[in-house]
């Protein structure tokens, strides 16, 4: 499986504020294939009440904009969670690290 895994910010910006993305990012997303991780929904929900939250109602936003018919949403498996234990402690937000590390488990 080849393509691009969108992180949470890229996903939200691609839908709500594409002008924030570079021309190259918009082109890559437009040409696809792009993949999303269900961890992005998890991250949006966890952060929704923080001052810097991207969305105030992430579940409604996800249901409105993320279609499994159009986008490939990657699930979370036990092996993905277990892999977190092998990562160095260089990032405080483990959900972001998880989204980035997950593709390594597919190889």
Domain range spanning residue 24? 4-105
97 token code pair: 């690290």
Count the domains in the chain: 1
Say how far apart CA 97 and CA 38 lie, in whole Å: 13
Task: Give the CATH number for residue 83.
Answer: 3.40.50.1010
pTM of the model: 0.72
For 53-86, write each residue's pLDDT tens digit: 889 999 999 999 987 666 788 888 888 778 777 7
């Amino acid at each position: 499986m080849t393509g691009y895994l969108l992180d949470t910010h890229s996903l939200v910006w691609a839908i709500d504020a594409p002008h924030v993305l570079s021309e190259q990012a918009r082109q890559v997303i437009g040409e696809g294939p792009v993949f999303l991780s269900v961890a992005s929904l998890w991250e949006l929900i966890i952060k929704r009440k923080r001052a810097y939250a991207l969305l105030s109602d992430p579940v409604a936003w996800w249901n409105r904009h993320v279609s499994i018919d159009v986008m490939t949403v990657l699930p979370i498996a036990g092996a993905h969670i277990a892999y977190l234990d092998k990562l160095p402690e260089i990032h405080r937000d483990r959900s972001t690290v998880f989204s980035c590390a997950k593709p390594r488990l597919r190889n």
